[in-house]
Amino acid sequence: MPIRKKRISPRQKMINLMYVVLMAMLALNVSSDVLNGFSLVSESLNRTTQNANLVNQGIYATFDQQMKTNPLKVKEWYDKAQYVRGISDSLYNLAEELKEAIVKKSDGKNGRVDSIKNREDLEASTQVMLAPGSGRGEELLNAINSYREKVVKMVTDNDKKTIISDNLNTDVPLKAKVLGKNWQEYMFENMPTAAAVTMLTQLQSSVRYAEGEVLHNLISNVDVKDIRVNQLSAFVIPSSQTVVRGGRFSAQIIMAAVDSTSKPTIYVGGKEIKSEHGLYETVCNSTGDFTLNGYIEMLNGSGETVRRDFTQKYTVVAPSATVSADIMNVLYAGYDNPMSVSVPGVATNKITCSMKGGSLTPKGDGHFIAKPESPGGEAVITVMAQNEGRSQEMGKFTFRVRKLPDPKPFIAYSDGNGGENRFTSGGLSKQILMGVDGIGAAIDDGLLNIAFRVQGFETVFYDAMGNAVPYKSNGANFSDQQKNQIRGLARNKRFYINNVQAVGPDGIERTLDGSMEVIIK
């Protein structure tokens, strides 16, 4: 028997609807305790920001004083400090302007940030930051990203870089991305006025913190404290410990003052160097130009840490030796002759070469391709090197230019394992012969491995009467007549391949001497 549903009276329907509306209102209502918590956090952030600003203003005052005392020494860092002040104040003031706009949107034109009345208002921050055409959320996002990028570059400590980047992070959480929200929507959409103001206050606090870290980094480059010394030593700092004949030896001779009672701490590549006298050594396993970067820390008379950065460039060259064999100083005309050039004590990227009687193309790392123009003459290669900021000739090298030697003809076939065999004379199975297209030619003498292009060749067979019957091919492949003659040969019968015409990379056409004997097996 079917169950009959009880009819609901109109009055009961109205009661149910009112209950649903009441539950929705309760869900949207933000408790006064939470709003009071936002106010407490905002007040705490304001105190922190004010304290950070006082410290920062003290550093600016120190810069002003040092600029008057020693402008030549301080100007570079003073200018950077003023730049940081400008971009920090710009973002700070933007946040303050947005706070005032949100509060006035919520409380009216007389609204004040320090005494918000409609703290629970969910519409004010949405309208100010996200209104179509006039919302300023994207403006704030771009300003934060730009400020973070500029400030992080001016801080050397990696841990502090991470803290600044996290404080000014504008990445959207994954949950918000799934909902299709951007940063400004995630931060300000339906956000109570008290919460929106607190978040902007947090941004202002992060700006003053980042500003302070940059200022501390900049002030460390100015010797504003006294470091007393008790020893003087003479030092000679050469620009290079390797000098090529004809080059110049240059060195900076200085008097260095040290404090024997207070040893500095040396860092190279972020790692502390444990050395009694500041000696740094490293094994150089690769060639090229390198830069040694690091910094030195030392306590001054006030017990504060003074930091000085240092940079030193150096060059690592490969061990090299020059061996000259006068009889074998030969280049082949029209051919890409590989060359290697090195100068002891000079990096390969500082070597340049030129060639008279042909072209010389650099291939990197001291390797070149020499291509002489014509055989019978000489090619002269001149080697230049950058030494002490000027170009210096390191020598001239003369090579005799010859024509490429003649290649040898061969029949190429697979060895069954993916490799290639080259048959030049003797016995060869008919099965292999019938499986190849024709012949090739190449120089392959252990020193040179140069392929030639076969333009034609002749095969000579013998009939039953012993008469020689020649057949000619006009390319590298066997002609149909030649294939038919090979197919008809019995075991142990032979034929000859001669008059091979070939062209090498030098463009010279030649007819190869001798013939290749092929015995059917």
The whole-number average pLDDT for the span 238-250 is: 56
- The pLDDT tens digits of the residues spanning 442-494 come to 988 766 778 999 999 999 999 888 899 999 999 999 999 999 999 999 999 99
- Residue 28: predicted pLDDT: 45
Beta bridge partners of 461: 469
- Residue 477: predicted pLDDT: 95
Burial class (CB in 10 A: 0-12, 13-18, 19+), 110: exposed
128 and 267 within one domain = no
Q: What span, in angstroms and rounded, lies between the C-alpha atoms of 379 and 397?
A: 8
271 and 351 within one domain = no
- Residue 325: predicted pLDDT: 45
What percent of the chain has a predicted confidence (pLDDT) above 70? 78
Owning domain of residue 437 = 408-520
Q: What span, in angstroms and rounded, lies between the C-alpha atoms of 495 and 470?
A: 10
- The pLDDT tens digits of the residues spanning 348-376 come to 888 889 999 889 999 888 889 989 888 88
262, 286, 316 — which closes off a domain?
A: 316
Split at pLDDT 50, 70, 90, the class of 261 is low
398 and 412 within one domain = no
Is there a domain that residue 224 lies in? no
Six-digit token pair at 230?
């008790």
Q: Which residue has the tokens 């200085």?
A: 254
140 and 21 within one domain = yes
- Residue 502: predicted pLDDT: 95
Q: What is the pTM of this model?
A: 0.42
362 and 415 within one domain = no
Residue 20 above 50 pLDDT? no
363 and 346 within one domain = yes
Establish how many alpha carbons lie within 13 A of residue 5's alpha carbon, considering only the half-sphere containing its beta carbon.
3
- The pLDDT tens digits of the residues spanning 131-171 come to 888 888 889 899 999 999 999 998 888 888 888 888 888 88
- Residue 499: predicted pLDDT: 94
- Residue 92: predicted pLDDT: 92
- Residue 481: predicted pLDDT: 93
Longest dimension (CA), the chain: 128
Residue 4 above 50 pLDDT? no
The whole-number average pLDDT for the span 202-226 is: 81
Q: What span, in angstroms and rounded, lies between the C-alpha atoms of 171 and 158?
A: 20
Is there a domain that residue 53 lies in? yes
- Residue 95: predicted pLDDT: 87
384 and 246 within one domain = no
290, 316, 342 — which closes off a domain?
A: 316
- Residue 323: predicted pLDDT: 47
- Residue 470: predicted pLDDT: 94
Contact between residue 409 and residue 389 where contact means Cβ atoms under 8 Å apart: no
381 and 273 within one domain = no
Beta bridge partners of 26: none
- Residue 271: predicted pLDDT: 85
119 and 99 within one domain = yes
Is there a domain that residue 412 lies in? yes
H/E segment holding residue 282: none
Residue 387's domain is classified under what CATH number? 2.60.40.10
Dihedral Cα 155, 160, 163, 166, nearest 10 deg: 30
81 and 176 within one domain = yes
Six-digit token pair at 482?
């030649």
From 152-166, 383-397, 400-414, 416-430, the region with the lowest mean pLDDT: 383-397
382 and 429 within one domain = no
Greater confidence, 188 or 237?
Answer: 188
508 and 439 within one domain = yes
When the pLDDT of each residue in the chain is averaged and rounded to a whole number, the result is 80
Torsions phi, psi of 78, nearest 5? Answer: -65, -45
- The total number of structural domains that make up the chain: 4
Q: What span, in angstroms and rounded, lies between the C-alpha atoms of 434 and 521?
A: 12
